A and B are shown apart, each in its own frame.
Chain A
Amino acid sequence: MIQDIITIIHDYWLLLLIGQYPNGPLGGLANTIILSLLAILLAFPVSILLALARLSKWRALRWPVTGLVYVTRGVPLLMLILWCYFLVPLWTGADVPSFLIMLVTLVVYEGAFLSEVVRAGIVSLGQGQMDAARALGHSHLSAMRFVILPQALYNMIPSMISTFVSTIKDTTLGYVINVPDLTFAASQVNNQLFTQPFQVFIILAAVYYVLCWSLTYVANSLERRIARRRAGPRRNARLATEAVPLKTLVEQP
């Protein structure tokens, strides 16, 4: 059993790592990572725009975007992939590579998820920061850019990493539209060997596990560090809610 696994790794490591490249398209683990990274990097700005639209005072912007986020979050990812797979070629009229379709789907899906995190991060800062910026003469956008987002996004770093982890796991669904990723490579190996599915898929699971676990570990330690930074600096400040104005009614001599 162990011997089988070692043999499989020995024989197929290159296929699992980069697919059929350079004789075919890039695939394997490399493609999984590239796809996930691109997805999260593009989903990030998308999520900020979606969050700002959801917090906008204009209904014409707020309502459709809220609807979009709800629908996206409410349907299974597989459904979105299939929609894009059939709709995008209809729409563009061209033969779109499955990698691109998967990328678009992931950006929309993770963008909608992250936008909720961004929105919560903005709302949790409270009205005081926005009031202070507006009172100094900042426009809404300028207040967002220089005051609100730097704080909200900093607090968001751990969520970004967890979303990256889910993205990595979600890329496996690209299998149904033949995206040449790690899962696809593993199933190619499985088809060639035919008799050792258990061994092949143990390798597959182990690779995903190590990748995701180490990222989760990084996210957790960052989270702890950020929590400490947030707690530490505030220790001297008494919160406004603690203040009882009537108690400070003092007649000074």
Chain B
Amino acid sequence: MTMPVSPLQDGQAIRLSDVCKSYGDYPVLRHINAEVGRGEVVVICGPSGSGKSTLIRTVNRLEEINSGSINFEGQNIHAPMRGRELNRLRSRIGFVFQSFNLFPHLSAVENVSMSPIRVKGVSADVARDKAIKLLDRVGLADKANSYPGQLSGGQQQRVAIARALAMEPPVMLFDEPTSALDPEMVGEVLSVMKSLAADGMTMLCVTHEMGFARDVADRIWFIDAGEILEMAPPKDFFQNPRHPRAQRFLSDLRH
């Protein structure tokens, strides 16, 4: 069952301790031990099916785990707790999905302002002003009244980022935010993510965009078969990966 949570050290935002998860007999995450520093940008990479999505979804408890703990702001996200407490913690962790998951019945500005109003109780006017500022920040001020169906994939994903930011989370998680996009739209989403990183946001990103990893990440976690095999700054990871499977992964990428 859940172990006592290991405390955060100075400057840490998230700490995963001995996290294990399996589907039936099949282990997806094996003894994950890792931490993310405040303001740090971590890129998670690894082959398909290695457990990247599962890992990142355990951080805001969209997936349950079998054992271990995840410390966020001094609390174990996976401890038994009241629904209301979990919702409060979740609202402090932004999540951006591969498939955007915008609310199609709401306009862009309503997508961004709805949760501050309904979850945090912010007044409608204040939330709307804030939403317009955020849409401006992701370059979509002119699309405030468009519905998700009227936006391109890249625009939808930028609205989704603005929607997550509207809750003012100190941490943002990204699960392959550009994988569902046409190639010409990847850049606009990555540049929003870069500007977030430059503003000091703590970010945990699953992505196959190695250029982004090289330029923006502080550290790379390489995961294979549910284990983190390598944690290194991008320079070290790309120039001399130590683990054979990381070497194979990178050489496959180059071809």
Contacts and interface: CB of A to CB of B under 8 A. Distances in A.
A147 B103 contact: yes
Contact of A142 (B118, B164, B181): B118
Interface string A213-245: 000000000000000000011111111101101
Given A136-B119, A146-B114, A243-B180, A236 B209 contact: no
A129 B62 CA distance: 12
Contacts, number: 124
B197 interface: no
B90 A136 contact: yes
A117 B211 CA distance: 47
A235 B149 CA distance: 7
Interface of A: 128-129, 131-140, 142, 146-147, 150-151, 154, 232-240, 242-243, 245-246, 248-253
A128 B99 contact: yes
Interface in B138-167: 147-153, 156, 163-164, 167
B191 to A, nearest CB: 12
B150 A129 contact: no
Contacts of B103: 129, 132-133, 147, 151
Contacts of B104: 151, 233-234
B87 to A, nearest CB: 5
A137 B115 contact: yes
Given A142-B119, A147-B103, A154-B105, A238 B180 contact: yes
B119 A245 contact: no
Interface string B124-149: 00000000000000000000000111
A139 B48 contact: no
A234 B95 CA distance: 22
Given A137-B167, A246-B48, A252-B210, A151 B105 contact: yes
Given A134-B90, A135-B62, A248 B208 contact: yes
Nearest to A131: B62
A237 B148 contact: yes
Nearest to A245: B179
Given A139-B83, A243-B179, A251-B211, 4 more contacts: A131-B101, A132-B102, A135-B93, A236-B150
A243 B254 CA distance: 20
8 contacts: A131-B101, A134-B87, A151-B105, A236-B149, A236-B153, A237-B149, A246-B208, A251-B210
B211 A150 contact: no
A238 B149 CA distance: 11
Interface string B32-59: 0000000000000000100000000000
Contact of B99 (A239, A251, A252): A239
The 3 closest A-B pairs by CB, nearest first: A233-B149, A252-B211, A137-B91
B253 interface: yes
B190 to A, nearest CB: 9
Given A129-B101, A236-B153, A146 B179 contact: no
B105 A248 contact: no
Contacts of B153: 236-238
Contacts of A237: 100, 148-149, 151, 153, 156
A206 B211 CA distance: 72
A222 to B, nearest CB: 16
B199 interface: no
Nearest to B186: A248
Contacts of B156: 237
A234 to B, nearest CB: 5
Given A135-B93, A139-B83, A252-B210, A238 B181 contact: yes
A249 B206 CA distance: 12
Contacts of A233: 104, 147-150
B84 interface: yes
B176 A245 contact: yes
Contacts of B150: 233, 236
Interface in B201-233: 208-212, 214
Contacts of A238: 153, 180-182
A232 B156 CA distance: 15
A138 B164 CA distance: 12
Q: Quick one: which of B115, B153, B208 has the most chain A CB within 10 A? A: B115
Contacts of B209: 248, 250, 252
